[in-house]
Amino acid sequence: MADQKVKPKCPLCNGENFNKEEGKIDSKWGATAHKVTLLICNKCGNVLIFSEGRTLWDMD
Ligand SMILES: [Zn+2]
Protein backbone atom coordinates (compact mmCIF):
# COMPACT_ATOMS: atom_id res chain seq x y z
CA MET A 1 0.00 0.00 0.00
CA ALA A 2 2.36 2.65 -1.20
CA ASP A 3 0.03 5.45 -1.97
CA GLN A 4 -3.03 5.90 0.02
CA LYS A 5 -5.69 7.80 -1.78
CA VAL A 6 -8.26 9.59 0.22
CA LYS A 7 -11.56 9.68 -1.49
CA PRO A 8 -13.16 13.05 -1.12
CA LYS A 9 -16.35 13.12 0.78
CA CYS A 10 -18.71 16.00 1.16
CA PRO A 11 -18.58 17.28 4.74
CA LEU A 12 -22.15 18.47 4.53
CA CYS A 13 -24.01 15.50 3.18
CA ASN A 14 -21.40 12.72 3.03
CA GLY A 15 -21.90 12.49 -0.70
CA GLU A 16 -19.17 10.92 -2.75
CA ASN A 17 -20.24 12.01 -6.20
CA PHE A 18 -18.81 15.21 -7.51
CA ASN A 19 -18.66 17.21 -10.68
CA LYS A 20 -15.09 18.03 -11.39
CA GLU A 21 -14.04 21.35 -12.82
CA GLU A 22 -10.65 22.77 -13.35
CA GLY A 23 -9.88 26.39 -12.99
CA LYS A 24 -7.37 28.98 -12.09
CA ILE A 25 -7.12 31.47 -9.33
CA ASP A 26 -5.11 34.51 -10.22
CA SER A 27 -3.12 36.00 -7.46
CA LYS A 28 -3.32 39.72 -7.05
CA TRP A 29 -0.01 39.86 -5.30
CA GLY A 30 2.15 38.13 -7.82
CA ALA A 31 2.29 36.79 -11.29
CA THR A 32 1.45 33.29 -10.24
CA ALA A 33 -1.83 31.75 -11.11
CA HIS A 34 -2.76 28.81 -9.02
CA LYS A 35 -4.30 25.87 -10.69
CA VAL A 36 -7.20 24.52 -8.80
CA THR A 37 -9.58 21.65 -9.08
CA LEU A 38 -13.12 22.18 -7.97
CA LEU A 39 -15.27 19.33 -6.87
CA ILE A 40 -18.92 20.20 -6.74
CA CYS A 41 -21.11 17.90 -4.74
CA ASN A 42 -23.88 16.38 -6.82
CA LYS A 43 -26.15 16.18 -3.85
CA CYS A 44 -25.95 19.52 -2.12
CA GLY A 45 -23.78 21.67 -4.35
CA ASN A 46 -21.06 22.18 -1.81
CA VAL A 47 -17.78 23.08 -3.49
CA LEU A 48 -14.48 21.59 -2.46
CA ILE A 49 -11.33 23.25 -3.67
CA PHE A 50 -8.09 21.47 -4.32
CA SER A 51 -4.98 23.33 -5.26
CA GLU A 52 -2.41 21.87 -7.55
CA GLY A 53 -0.21 19.25 -6.03
CA ARG A 54 -1.52 19.64 -2.58
CA THR A 55 -4.91 18.97 -1.23
CA LEU A 56 -6.75 21.27 1.09
CA TRP A 57 -8.57 18.25 2.27
CA ASP A 58 -6.96 17.67 5.60
CA MET A 59 -9.55 18.97 7.93
CA ASP A 60 -10.86 15.63 9.08
ZN1 LIG B 1 -22.81 17.44 -0.36
Sheet containing 33-41: order of strands: 18-26, 33-41, 47-51
Q: How far apart are the CA of 36 and the centre of ligand 1, in A?
A: 19
Q: Whole-prediction pTM value? A: 0.63
Return the closest-CA partner of residue 24 out of 46, 42, 51.
Answer: 51
Please identify every residue whose CB atom is under 5 Å from ligand 1, which is an ion: 10, 12-13, 15, 41, 43-44, 46
Q: How far apart are the CA of 20 and the centre of ligand 1, in A?
A: 13
pLDDT band at 60 (very low <50, low <70, confident <90, very high): very low
4-45 residue pLDDT tens: 677 889 999 999 999 999 888 777 777 777 788 899 999 999
Domain ranges of the chain: 18-51
